[in-house]
Structure 1
Amino acid sequence: MPWPTTCAAPLVAAGLLLAACQPTVKVQAPDKPITINLNVKLDAEVRVKLEEKAEEDIQKNPDIF
């Protein structure tokens, strides 16, 4: 039994509405250049030097605490 035309029209309209609501993803390069902060190495180096200095001071003066 073929579908009546009156039933097909709402189904087609609903299909078009659902297809129009699908999200899209746009890939685009940024306008500004990407900057990477490399201060982490410097911070780690300073921390290691401070820890070594603290260990030396504690060994020289064990009664400091």
Structure 2
Amino acid sequence: MNNTTGALLIAVVGVCLLSGCVPRIEVATPKDPITINMNVKIEHEIFIKVDKDVENLLKNQSGLF
């Protein structure tokens, strides 16, 4: 057996051994249904800062709004 044949034999054995290590990806659907809880409570406060002139106008003429 010469060096070329030995190297070829090692390469073939290496490929055969590595071919068994193929990664496998499996996608499966879940057995239970997916539940999404959407009970969300949103609270917010809005603060408006106005000039003194506008604030006085709103106090004096309360029928605007």
TM-score (norm 2): 0.49
Structure with greater proportional helix content:
1
TM-score (norm 1): 0.49
